[in-house]
């Protein structure tokens, strides 16, 4: 099947720009509001962002499937699918920590061929097209060249529902913490993947993510030279519950630390 990739990119970028404006507007509105009020604004920002993205994409491509976090449904032609997180890093947003993103990916017959992750507060736009590399604000990006875990800065995330996974999660965390130069926990899986892509981190792992958390970040990381697998080194797909993304050079070592 043939698609107009340039139009897909243009529409994806236009919808992200609109969503970014919305997220910034609510962010500025929330300055004088207490935390409880901030949570309502968060929900509003989340919903308004998704509504804007969906409207722009549906107007341009009425037959495409849209799979987005808040509506969570898949309808339309399965061969062309948009996978959308209108506001990744929601807890950060509620606490006014500017580590948030809009994440938009496009899949053709099940293969992601375009992805973008925009942090509208930091004004950083990551994007990638399959086979054409990855960019940050228009400049090509690559993974880091650090070769061992001892010199690596790693990033991870914790799921909302901790109880079922707390023991293996802490065991993995302990092993990696003892082995690495340092570990960060920033709260947006989409940005974590992009930070591996541009070499800020050597590796990222997390369990219990949803497809919209990883779809765009995964292609950005891969196009920047990252290895992206599950914890057992099998190729990652967005339906999987575990993700391990590294600069490639520390992949084996980190996978070994994660295997319990």
- Cβ distance 54 to 212 under 8 Å? no
Alpha-carbon distance of 33 to 42, in angstroms, equals: 12
Query: 15 contacts which partner out of Ca ion, ligand 2AM, none, CB within 5 to 8 A by kind?
Result: none
Q: Is 99 in the site for ligand 2AM (CB under 6 A)?
A: no
Q: Is 50 in the site for ligand 2AM (CB under 6 A)?
A: no
Q: Which listed residue (50, 81, 88, 223) binds Ca ion by CB under 5 A?
A: 88
H or E stretch including 253? helix 251-258
User: Would you state the structure tokens that stand for residue 185, as one six-digit string?
Assistant: 């926990």
Alpha-carbon distance of 171 to 188, in angstroms, equals: 22
- Could you give the string, one character per residue 133-162, with x where binding to ligand 2AM holds by CB under 6 A and - elsewhere? ------------------------xxxxx-
Pick the piece of the chain touching ligand 2AM (CB under 6 A) from 53-61, 137-145, 182-190, 195-203: 182-190
Q: Which listed residue (46, 50, 81, 85) binds Ca ion by CB under 5 A?
A: 85
Tally of CA atoms within 13 A in the half-sphere of 184 that contains its CB: 19
Residues 6+ apart with CB under 8 A from 21: 120
Q: Is 66 helix (H, G, I), strand (E, B) or coil?
A: strand
Q: Is 187 in the site for ligand 2AM (CB under 6 A)?
A: yes
Q: Which residues bind ligand 2AM (CB under 6 A)?
A: 85, 88-90, 157-161, 187-189, 206, 208-210, 213
Q: Which residues bind Ca ion (CB under 5 A)?
A: 85, 88, 213
């Amino acid at each position: 099947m043939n698609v107009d990739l340039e139009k897909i990119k243009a529409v994806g970028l236009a919808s992200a720009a609109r969503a970014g404006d919305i997220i910034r507007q609510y962010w500025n509105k929330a300055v004088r509001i207490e935390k409880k009020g901030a949570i309502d604004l968060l929900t509003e920002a989340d919903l308004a962002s998704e509504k804007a993205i969906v409207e722009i994409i549906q107007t341009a491509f009425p037959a495409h499937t849209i799979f987005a976090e808040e509506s969570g449904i898949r309808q339309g032609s399965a061969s062309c699918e948009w996978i959308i997180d209108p506001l990744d890093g929601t807890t950060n947003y509620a606490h006014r920590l500017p580590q948030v993103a809009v994440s938009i990916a496009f899949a053709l017959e099940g293969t992601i061929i375009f992805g973008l992750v925009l942090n509208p507060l930091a004004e950083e736009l990551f994007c990638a097209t399959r086979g054409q590399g990855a960019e940050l604000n228009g400049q090509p990006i690559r993974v880091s060249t650090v070769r061992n875990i001892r010199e690596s800065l790693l990033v991870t995330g914790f799921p909302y529902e901790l109880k079922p996974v707390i023991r293996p999660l802490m065991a993995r965390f302990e092993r990696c913490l003892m082995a690495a130069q340092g570990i960060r926990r920033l709260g947006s899986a989409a940005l974590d993947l992009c930070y591996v892509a541009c070499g800020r981190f050597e590796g990222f792992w997390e369990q219990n993510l949803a497809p919209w958390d990883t779809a765009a970040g995964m292609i950005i990381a891969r196009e920047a030279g990252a290895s992206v697998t599950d914890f057992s080194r099998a190729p990652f797909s967005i339906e999987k519950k575990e993700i391990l993304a590294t600069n490639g050079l520390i992949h084996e070592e980190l996978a070994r630390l994660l295997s319990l």
